[in-house]
Each structure stands twice: as C-alpha cells, then as structure tokens.
Structure 1
Amino acid sequence: MKERSTLWCRVVFVVMVAWALLVSGCSSGGGSSSGFLPQGEIVNVTVLQTTDMHATISGVGFFNDYTPDTTGDDFVLGGWARIATKINEIRDGRRAAGAVVFLVDSGDYNMGTVYDMLWQTNAALRFIQKMEYDVITLGNHEFDYGPQKLATMIDGARNSQDGFTVPIVATNAVFDGANDLEDLVDDGAIINDYYVLTHTSGLKVGVIGLMGKTADDYAPNAWPVTFKSDYENADVLEFIQEKVDALRNIEGVHLVIALSHSGVIDPNGNPQGDDIILAENITGIDIIASGHEHVTTNAVIPVVNGSHTTYIICAGANATNLAQLDFRVNMKTKQLAGVPTLTNHPIDDDIAGDPEINTMVGDMNDEIDTMLTSLGVSLSDVVATSELNLSYPGMAMEFGLGNLLADALRYAGTEATEPTIGAFANGVIRGGFFQQQDIAFADLFAVVPLGITTDDNQDPLLPGYPLLKVYLNGNEVWDICKFDVSIMGAQSTNPQYISYFFSISGLQCTYNYLTGAVLSADHYAWDDYTCTGGTTPIPQGTATLYPVIVDKYTVDMLLTPSIQGLLAFLGITLQPKLDDGTPINAGNLLAARLDREPGTPGVQEYYAWSAALKFFTDPAPGLGETIPVVPYNLSVGQRLVFQ
C-alpha cells in the first residue's frame, strides 16, 4: 500500500507541474504571441507574414463578386476576412503544438482601394489591431498623403473603438521636422529604434523596421521624413549594424528579425535587390521578412555572410498569400537550429471569411456609402459595363485603358468650343477592366486610387490627386509628343521612365519610326471625346496656349529637378502655366484646379476617379454606362502614329 501511495503522489505532483507549465506558457510577454514553455534548449517558432496588403479588404477581383461568407462561388483572390481565418487557424494550431507564434507585416498596408476613403480612422490599422499583430513597419505608400496625414491615420486608429496598440517599428526613418510623427515617437506609438518582443518562455526576439532605397525613391511625399536607406552606403550600414549588435550584445536577444520594406527581385530565379544587399552587408539578422516588390518567395532565400546566414521570405502582395515560416531557436547558443521551412498559403474562395472581420468590413462599407451620398453613388453600384479587356501593359506605348482614362480627364475639363488635351501618366494606374465586367464604383476607384489633396477644406476630404487645367504653348504641345516618343524609344534600356509615359486625348502625334522625330501634332475637335474624327494641325510657336487636363501628381513630378533634368537632356521644354500665361510652381499650383461645381463657393475638386465616373455614366457624349470596343481595342496606334 505504501508503494502504491507513493507512486500516486508522484503522479499527482507531475500532473500539477505540467499544468503549471501549461498555464504559464499560454500567457504573452510581448505582443499577442504565446505558446507552451519549451523543454530543453530548443524553442519552436512560427512567423506569419503579410506585406503590401494595399487595403485590398474585399479581395482582388470584382467587388460585387466577393462572397466571404461562402466558399466555391467566386474567383476573387484574397480578402481580409479570408486571410483572418487562415491566420487564426495556423496561429491556434501552432500554439497548440507548443510553438511560439509571431504575426508581422512589412508595410504598405494602405493605398490601393476604396477603403482608403476611411483614411482618417484607417481601415488597415483597425484590421491589424483586431488581428493582434505583434509588430509592423511602414512602407513607402504609408507616406502617400504626407507625414501630417500619416500621423492623423495613426491617431485616428488609436482613438477608434478598439484603439491601436501594435508597435510600428521604423528603425532607419529620420523624423526630424515632422512634428506630428515626432509626437507619436515620443508617445511610443512609433518605435524609431529597435524593438524587443519577450515571450513567457524566455525567448527574446529583436525587431528592426527598415525602408530600402528603392522604396524610399517611391515616397516623394515623405519629406521632411528621410530614411537611411542606401544599403551600399558605409554610414547607413554602420547605423544598421549598430542596431543589430545592440540587440545581440546589450538586449541579449535570441533572434533578430528585420521587417524590411526594401524588396527582392526575381526571388525564385536569380535573387537580387535591396534586401539581398542588406543581408550581404549586415551580420546578425536571422530573418528578413521582405516587402515592396510584390513577389512571393517559393522557398526561403539563404544569404551567407561570413559565418552567418540570413534567410529571406516575402508573402507577396494584396493579401492573396500568407507566408508561414517555421524554425527552431537554440536558446543557449542564440542561433537558429537548422534551416527554416517556408509554407505559402494561397488565400482564395476555398476559405470562408472570419465572421468578426466580415462584420467589421460590412460596417466599413456602410461608412463609405454614407460618404458617397453626395456623389449619388454607392460602392456596389454598377457604373459601366466593359465590352473588352482593358489592362495596363507595363510598357510605354499607346493602350486602350490609358486612352480611356485620358479621355475621361479631357471630358471633365473641356469647355465648349475650346480644343483641350487630356494627359494621364502610366505611374498612377493600378488596375484594369475585363470584358463583360459589370464595373462597380469600387472597381473603378481601384484603377486610379492614389493621392490626396493638400486642401483640407474639401468636404468630404476624399482620396485622389486633384485634376488641374494647365496651359502649354504650341512648342510644348509638340514636346509632349517628343517626350512620349523618347520614352518609347528608351524603355528597353531605361525602364524606370515607363511610369512617366503619357496616354493622351484630344491630340494626335505623328513621328518617324526610325529617327523618332515628331512630324506633326494635331488636335481633335473639342467635343470628339473618343478621338475618332478628323484633326487640325497645331502650329509650333508660343503665341497660342492650349489647355491640358492632368492630375496634380504629374505636375508635381514634372516640376522636380530630376524630371526637369531629363527634359533638358531630351531637348524638351514643358512649363505648365495658368490661363494668363503665369508659370506654375508649388506656390500657385492649386490655382489651376479643375472645379467640379463652378457655381458653388470655393473649389469642388475633380479626381481621376470622379472624372471617370462622370465620363462612364453620362449619356452621349459620355459613354452611357458602356465602354465600347471602338476606339479602345487598339491594334495599331491611333494617337501616336508612326510613319
């Protein structure tokens, strides 16, 4: 009896100890991560990564086709309710298996869809809070509206019903002069240094948040914020290495993760890009969770730097994939125990959306519909049907979608009897339309979603670059032709200039195919909005000014020293003017805004999406809710004609 009693006591003691370990292992010492207390020196870790989600809350596809409550009945990819289901499934499963789980994002969660209309309370950050991310960083598109409005976004999320407490780590950002963001750094909402996640198991994970040079170059509105982004610059490398060394030697972390909005090019072939350069030059980063280039790594990319190996992953873009990285950490040596394993989880209609996130998205849709009341439209309203496929070809060339958008700008800004030109740059096109697509307003907006005004008196204050009516003389109109022809000729060796190419409306350029010389510039009749009729020559000279409808982003870029230098190199002069001939500069640019309601006090701004809405829905000479095959099915150039 004594032996049996002693054995029973031992069993009870072991069970009690195991239960104590179980309970202690299920609480979180950093962020929302938790798991069982590990046995021995090895800890199993799972990192779940999203990146470049771009507010694709209702997925990538037709807005009215998205059915997150059911499965097997749509072709929409992604959708945040669906990715929420997958995140919860994997996080719960890995924790039950004893792993420590971290959920991270590598930036650009904003900008790209109609949900950007909620920028003041920030739909993306509200989702990130609801899903209990552990840590995130900033991407270049977080700065699209400028530092002050970025601060408004973060503050709006913090003051929303659920609040916002997820650490935003921006290690290599310099916020000097951006007072509102500096206040958020002082409050601890933005970590302008490294960050340490401490788990109840004792695991300490050091996190740095980085923006690479390529992404930095695509953040023109970030000023006065700057970034130590050139990973080939000795001072920048010294700065980052000091942060990693401090995490290793002062904080005593077991693992270092870089949330890097820098990017990998050709990740599944010959990997290159800023994050490869980072890994080759910095010692001590274990994992780089990469973003910016919108590519998915099929397997981890190992980069050997001396005795250390850094592993790079990227989840892709638009919440169409969730990256799961599983690995083991030796708590004693503070090294990875083996090569991490990457599993990609496609997000599609096989996954039912999380009910709580579905409800949240429904509430967001209602908020936006209320904002759109004054425009007489809702998110799901069908504004047109397309009779053909229209997409952006990724090249400098005349194409149907570009012509359509340029026509829309010209339609919105032309005054009776006044020949007018519309010009729309490749770089602000973000999508397209499909044959027989019933285009919802949300679908239209997603094609041209970028930017916001600097006039905070607009009510409601909606996204979009304001449209401007500027004036060019005859010589400069000819130079528009020369610019496009030059970009077409140089694109194979200088692909960075493709985004500057103008689609044009109301103007026909004829050029010599062999020499690139512009032979003529002709305008269409003022009311020939689809450019299918005859033309009239535009004489060279400076005496006559011709109105051009263009967005503010294009004029902003046109006035930069880099673009002016390019124009000078090409022998081109483009100086936008007000209607009285005054040269436009940053100080008087808003005086050129196109007014949607001239009879209403103040300026009611037009944006590319609101111009397209008007062009698509107006009866003739608008499109009458049908995008026709002719003239947008281009087989040969109609507005850029070679001889």
Structure 2
Amino acid sequence: MAARARLCGWWLALVAPWAVWPASGCGDDDSGGDADVADTGADADADADADVEPDVEPDADVGPDGDGPGDVPDGETTPPRRLTILHTNDMHAHLMGTGPELEYTPLTTGDDPTVGGAARLAALIAQRRSALEAAGHDVIVTDSGDFSMGTLFSILDEVAAPSLQFFEFVGYDAITIGNHEFDWTPAHLAATIAAGVSAGFHVPILATNMVTDAADPGDDDLEELVSAGAIVPTATLDLPGGLRVGLLSWLGENAAEVAPLAAPVTFDQDLAHAQAAAAALRAGGADVVVALTHIGLPYDQSDDDLAAAAPDIDIIVGGHSHDALAEVRVPDGTDTLVVQAGSYTRFLGELTVEIDGGAVRLVDYTLHEIDDTIAGDATVQGLVEMAIDGLDDTVLGPMFGTSYRARVAETAFPLATPGFAESNLGDLVTDAFRTVAAAVTPGDPVVAAFESDGVIRDDLLVGDEGVICFADLMRVLPLGIGPDRIPGYPLVSFWVDALELRAACEVSASLAAIGGSDYWIQFSGLRCHSNPAGPFLGRVDGVFLGNERDGYSPTSLPLDGSDTNLYRIAVDYYVASLMSLIESMTLGGLSITPKRADGSEVTNLFEMLLDRDPTTPSSVEELKLWMALWQYVRSLPDGDGDTLPEIPAAYATPLGRWSE
C-alpha cells in the first residue's frame, strides 16, 4: 500500500463529516433496488455486501433456464418484456453542472441559465425510473466512464470518492472506467474505489479489457480490488420483471492512447475478445447483452467497429467522444443499437427496448436535457455543498488563499472553444501560459505557448451576471497531476527550431480532420498561415513571431531548414508527453523534439518544469496550467473600479492568429 500512501499525500487531511454520503436512497433502498447483480454483492445479501466480493458467474438458480423468476411453464412462450436503460457518460465530476457557478440554483426552476448538475440529474433519474417501473418496465441505470477529473471535486476522490458516492446514492446498476480515471495513475484510481467502498459503494465497476501487470507494483492496489470483486470483467443483472441483462465494458484504442499515466495497466484491443465475453453472457442466460463502452465515434476504432465485431452485443451505451446523440445509431451491417449522452451531466439518455424471444427491438429513445426546468434533489445538493465547504476549509483556503466561489473576474461575453478553429478561450489560455511563463524565465523568456483543445475542458459563460469565480476557471484546465502531487498538469518549457514551430501549426492544418478536435492546437506568440488546398502535412506556409501588444513580424520564419535559431516555448506536460503520437501518426512526417538552449535533446520532460518561484532554487514549485490562467486573469485591468478585473473586449472574438 506504499504507492497509495504516497499518492494520497497532502489531501488525506480532507476527511470530514461530509466524507460519507447518507445511505438513504442508496442501492437496494431505492425503487430499483430489487434488480440484483447475480452474486456480486450489489444485492440485498448482507454478507456479500459487507465483503464487496462480486461473483461474475451467473446464478444457476435464477433465469429462464432454471426455476427463478424469469421462467415460464413448459410449452408457453415468454411475453415481450420492456427494458429501459437510463444512462450517462463523461460526467467529469460536474456535480455543480456547467455555466457560471455563482448562478447555479438547482433547487428552484426558471431562474438561472446553467445546465447539468448532480442534484438535477438525481431528481430526473428518480422521476423517470418511478414512471417507467409503474408502466411495467424493467429499468437499469448505467455510466460509461470518465466520471472523474474535470472539476475541483476530483481533489476529494481518494478520501470521499464523491462521484462514486453519487452513483450509489442515486442507485446506478453498473458503471465502467474511462481514460481520465487514470489521470493520476492506477494507484489513485484504486484509492478512489477503496474510498468509495469504505463509504458504502457497491455498484459493479466493469473492466472487461483492462489488463494489469503481475510483475509491476504500480497496479497492485487495483489488482487487490479485482481480487476482491469490486472491479469485474462482466456482470449479470436479474431484474424484477424476469429479464436477465448481461453487461460488459470496453475501453477503446484512442482512450488508451491518451492515458499515458495508466501504465502499467494496458487494455486488450482484440475485439474478438469482446465478442467472446458477450457470447459467454448469452450462454449464461442473458436475454439482452449491453456493452458500456469508452470508445467513442470519430476515431480509428469506434463503437461501430465493436458492433461489427461482436454481434452478440445488442446495445452499446457509449462514451469518450462526448457525443449527445439525439437518435439511436444502428451501424451498417449490424442490428446493434448505439447511444451516447453527451458529457458533464448535461444530458440523461433514456433507451427503451422490447425483448421478444431472442429479438431486441427499439421502442423509444429520448435524450433529456438537464437544465433549469428540473428541480433538483435537495439531499444531493446539500451533500455537494458540504463537499464545497470541505474544499474551502482544508485545501483552497489554507493552500491557495482562495475559495470555491471566490469572485475572480468579469466578462461581458462568453469564452469558448467551438472546435477545429482558433478560439477566444484558446487565445486567453495560451496568452496566460506565455505571459506567466515569460515572467518566471526573464533571462531567456518564453516566446510562444501552445495548448490542445482536448485539454481546454470547459467554456467560460457570461450568464446573467457576467462574474467568473475560481471554480469556473478550474473547470477550464482541471486535468492531470505533476511530481508534486498537487492537482493540475504542470507547464514545461523547452526549445524548438523554426520547422518544429511549423510542425506544431501543421497538426491543426492536417491532423485535426483525422484525429478530431483534440488535435487542434491553440497558440500565443505567433501567427500561422495555412493553405487548405496544400498537400497533406505541407499546408502551413507561414509562421510569424510576435503578439498583439508588440506587433508581429511582417515576414515568416524561414521554413526551408535554413533557420538554425532555437525558440523557447511553453506547453503543458501532458501534450508534450504525447508528441511522439504525432510522429507515429505521420510516419515521421511531423516531429517535434524538445531541446535545451544548447540544442541537446531532452529525454526527461520533468527536467523542463517551469518553476513558479525561481527565488527558491533548492526545489521546483510547479507552475500548473490553472495557476497560470488564474494569475493572468487576476492581472487584467479593472476598468470599472469594482475590484474585479474585466476580460478585455479584444477577447470577444478570436484574435486572428490563424489565417488561410
């Protein structure tokens, strides 16, 4: 357990009265509590519950082949039965929803512009489950991963596991894990699950294609949870109406690629093994097989590929790509139903199917918006408020001199990242990186900064009042952790040549259309010109150094290899660590090699961490992405004298750093 102890570090002190959510409304106490997981410890079996030791083998005494509730007398046929799946995905700990957090009023309706939130989501799930069960439906509630990492609440994971406690309180029947559950290493994920189990969490966590390494101690804590049955490869639910539902999961290729800190954990990508798992569930008596996936839709491997490779899967409840699918997709050549419910608690999917013999037929699908028309659950919101108090009292105040709802700035316009384009929020973020990084490197200042749209996680919305609080800023850049174990990816700084500056721009010009908007790069300190009609990997034909304050060079850097100068840049550690993906994707056509000022190659990016306090040379105090944004925004001018700086009007639209 040494790894877990090291990882918990400074926030172990967060244990407080709010660390365990009340049991009322949890698991078997809610309206869906009669839906047992066969021998998994999630049902009313007290001994199994106490030990949290799920058995993924189907119960031989329950179901259509035995003497359980799913049977009918010999010679009779089973009448059609209806199953409704209420589903979420990619919640990213958005327990307070999305929008200006100071305006979020989940217990009243018609008075705020925010969307999402745990209280509203809990209320709608309870309403829909009650109505559907009254109509004779079997109902299950699922989540398809990335439930953590996206807000300040993730700081509490190792001691309170708020997202897992939410799932238990609301009565989810099964969840899976996404790539962001590994953002703080497997040991952190294990500590999160252990904290949840200690607080009464019993929901099966599916991890069908997760592979641990018996020889590496880095995932030992996860292996213990697998052995204890808290993490299972598959599960079977026997529902009150007689249906047996088989469940598996799959974390896809792209999700695995963008989880560098998951090591030594890996993920089997042989889709034939998904079919084998589905077939085994079918052989065990499952009337319907459901896959909770973290694969997504626009990548080289997609939910469509899984549907084609695993015909025994009837329904894919997806995640990872944050697609809010208003209609059910049926991939070509399959009968598989594919759904996904956006992200950030903004939607609840409701899929109803009819099972008639061996056929699974679509009846209805609704993508519910979670907004201010829904009065939230007061108990859930009360628990969220207690968590906020704990964050303020034990972390934000003592360590950073701020609070969750501290007012930071004002804006008269939204700052957003629409994708596949320069954005005003991307300009603000990269200006923050470049400006703050240059201030801590005065001898050889950073001249340019870069960030991927995939790391900029949320928008800054204007709302009704136009006030940005600390929690809003944190939602923009919430991901990751550094060697200091303080949440947030750190900024690193290194030197590149002119061709590598062009390569960084070329990622947007040539790769974003293939790899998705995560490959769109925002930047500060230069302008780029691209010719969309140019050849693949050769569309960027101009890179001009400068900035809006000092002006831009009228001539491009030489892009023929003749420029031997090196240019210091700042980028977040996560993006820098994935630069090898660019080289492999382009078969060496694009490459960026981090260098020191003398041109020698950097082999350990942690040696290039920016120090936010260079006056203490004995140690590096990491400059986190969110710290740079927070510091920059607080430094902006206060035009109206109310002590809150304003986001300058120049940021109302993109600043024109990308041209074609």
Q: Does structure 1 residue 173 correspond to structure 2 residue 210?
A: yes
Are 1:441 and 2:460 an aligned pair?
no
Q: What residue in structure 1 maps to residue 87 of structure 2?
A: 49
2:647 corresponds to 1:627:
yes
Question: 2:595 is matched with which residue?
Answer: 577
Identity %: 34
> In the alignment, is residue 29 of structure 1 matched against residue 36 of structure 2?
yes
5 Å-filtered alignment, 1:287-298, equals 287-298=315-326
Contact map agreement 2:526 2:552 (CA 8 A) in 1: no
**What are the equivalent positions in structure 2 for 1:117-516 lying under 5 Å apart?**
117-121=155-159, 122-159=161-198, 162-176=199-213, 177=216, 178-191=219-232, 193-199=233-239, 202-229=242-269, 236-249=270-283, 251-264=284-297, 274-302=302-330, 309-330=335-356, 333=357, 335-336=359-360, 338-370=361-393, 371-373=395-397, 374-397=399-422, 399-414=423-438, 415-416=441-442, 418-426=444-452, 427-434=454-461, 437-453=466-482, 455=483, 458=484, 461-472=485-496, 476=497, 478-490=498-510, 494-496=513-515, 499-507=518-526
Q: What SS does the corresponding residue of 2:261 show, helix, strand or coil?
A: coil
Structure 2 stretches lacking a partner, 5+ long: 1-30, 45-67, 73-77
**Cα deviation per residue 1:22-63 (whole Å; 9 max; x = unaligned)?**
xx9984433469xx9789633443221111212111112111
Q: CA-atom RMSD, angstroms?
A: 3.6
Which letter does structure 1 place at the counterpart of 2:458? G
After superposition, the C-alpha distances for 1:491-515 in whole angstroms (9 at most, x for unaligned) are: 58x4427534543334456789997
* Distance in 2 of aligned mates of 1:594 and 1:200: 58
Q: Aligned-pair distance for 1:604?
A: 2.1
Q: How does the TM-score come out when normalised to structure 1?
A: 0.80
8 A contact 2:638–2:646 mirrored in 1 = no
Please state whether the residue corresponding to 1:52 is helix, strand or coil.
coil
SS class of match (1:569): coil
Contact 2:414 2:652 in 1 (8 A): no
1:583-615 Cα offsets, whole Å, 9 max, x none, are 2213xx222212223345632211111111111
Stretch deviating more after TM superposition (510-519 or 72-81): 510-519
SS in 1 for 2:275: helix
Following TM superposition, by how much is the alpha carbon of 1:382 offset from its aligned partner in structure 2, in angstroms? 1.7
- The TM-score with structure 2 as length reference comes to 0.78
| Corresponding residue for residue 104 of structure 2 | 66
Q: 1:316 to 1:403 in 2, by over 3 A?
A: closer
C-alpha distance in 2 between matches for 1:26 and 1:294: 29
Give 1:614's match in structure 2, choosing from 631, 635, 650.
631
The structure-2 alpha-carbon separation of the partners of 1:567 and 1:621, relative to structure 1 and needing over 3 Å to count, comes to farther
Q: Which has the larger radius of gyration?
A: 1
Change (3 A) 1:242 1:416: closer
1:617 CA drift (Å): 0.9
**Kept in 2: contact 1:403–1:505 (CA 8 A):** yes
Q: Do the aligned residues in 1 keep the contact of 2:446 with 2:570 (CA within 8 Å)? A: yes
1:517-596 matches, within 5 Å, as 521-523=544-546, 531-533=549-551, 546-558=567-579, 560=580, 562-563=582-583, 566=586, 568-570=588-590, 574-578=592-596, 582-586=600-604, 589-596=605-612
Q: Decide whether aligned partners of structure 1 residues 71 and 184 sit closer, same or farther in structure 2, where only a CA change above 3 A counts.
A: same
Aligned partners of 1:388 and 1:633 also within 8 Å: no
Other-structure match for 2:53: none
Shift of 1:175: 1.9
Contact 2:32 2:129 in 1 (8 A): no
Number of equivalent positions? 575
Rounded to whole Å, the distance in 2 between the matches of 1:63 and 1:548 is 33
Q: Which whole-Å CA distance do the structure 2 matches of 1:25 and 1:83 have between them?
A: 16
Taking a change above 3 Å as real, the CA distance of residues 636 and 290 of structure 1, as seen in their structure-2 partners, is closer
| Post-superposition offset of 1:364 | 1.4
Distance change in 2, residues 1:468/1:481 (3 Å) = closer
SS at match of 2:417: coil
Q: 1:9 is matched with which residue?
A: none
- Distance in 2 (CA, whole Å) between partners of 1:562 and 1:510 is 20
